[in-house]
Chains A and B, each alone.
Chain A
Amino acid sequence: MTATLSHARTGDATAVEAAPPLRLAGDLAVWLIILAELLAFSILFLLFAVTRLRHPEVFAASQPTLDASTGLVNTLLLITGSWFVACAVRAASHHQRLATLRHLLTAQACGAVFLVLKLSEYADKAATGIDLETNVFYMFYFFLTGFHFLHVLAAMVFLAFLSVSVWRCQQVADQHHALESGAAFWHMVDLLWIVMFPLVYLIR
């Protein structure tokens, strides 16, 4: 690890202070995956916005059928999940194994409730005969939220593996790097929903 030194000149004296090293939290490979996912989702978001411009009447008729309250609850669940994941990483850096585990499990519970709410949303739509082929708005709705759903699922599996590793290990600090990688992936899922919520549910 290379320490970064910041040099500050004050008057005639030159002060040399040790600054915290600049580093990516987690594995570089995970960050490259995150970058690719963000780019893929941004193409879908832009396509959604462009299609709304081309079919305003279809979007105006279909978008009010979405429940923004459920969208808000989902937002709060993912944000709270992110908070618990951040707390888990912090607890691991303080060698608090049980607190790390507890935070990870709570984050997964938030993710599980998110998935259940999303499935009930899909079931409601299916019950009223709405599916991917109904119109262009619902095609995007199911595709965007479904793709995101799969990412939440993947993030939960990632956290589940980490929970098992933390449970089995003696020194939780040994898992810190892996925890940071899992946390970065979870936060990416949260970040994508933060953009998707206003785009799909709010702006009409």
Chain B
Amino acid sequence: MIACVRLWLSSPTNRIWLALVAASLASYTLGGTRADSAWSTWTVWLVFGLALTKGVWVMDEFMGLRTAPVLWRRLLLGWLVALCLALAGLSSMG
């Protein structure tokens, strides 16, 4: 059983899927626990930080940007970083 789990976890694709699920549950938990109170600035940044991390994992591991030409990788990761920063900034201003 443990050997099966180890074998399953030896695949980067499987590990990334597991990490994505964990990060999604963390985002949801943050949303649920703070739903009745005003969102503090740090919570907004934390949730968008999680979204950014998930996005980087999807781009690098699933879309294969880790082995893409540098310009493409910088362009797409730059887009994601800029978007998450802008959305977190705008959302924390409210």
Contact = CB atoms under 8 A, between A and B. Distances in A.
Interface of A: 20-25, 31, 35, 38-39, 42, 45-46, 49-50, 52-53, 56, 64, 68-69, 71-72, 75-76, 79-80, 82-83, 85-87, 90, 180, 183-184, 187-188, 190-191, 194-195, 197-199, 201-204
Secondary structure of the B side of the interface?
helix
A31 to B, nearest CB: 7
Contacts of A46: 83, 86-87, 90
Contacts of B93: 53
Interface of B: 13-14, 16-17, 20-21, 24-25, 27-28, 30-32, 34-35, 39, 44, 47-48, 50-51, 54-55, 58-59, 61-64, 67-70, 72, 75-76, 79-80, 83-84, 86-87, 90-91, 93-94
Contacts of B21: 76, 79-80
B9 to A, nearest CB: 14
A49 B35 CA distance: 18
B61 to A, nearest CB: 7
6 contacts: A22-B69, A80-B17, A83-B20, A191-B58, A197-B51, A204-B34
Contacts, number: 132
Contacts of B84: 195
A45 B70 CA distance: 26
A72 B24 contact: yes
B13 A25 contact: no
B17 A52 contact: no
A204 B64 contact: no
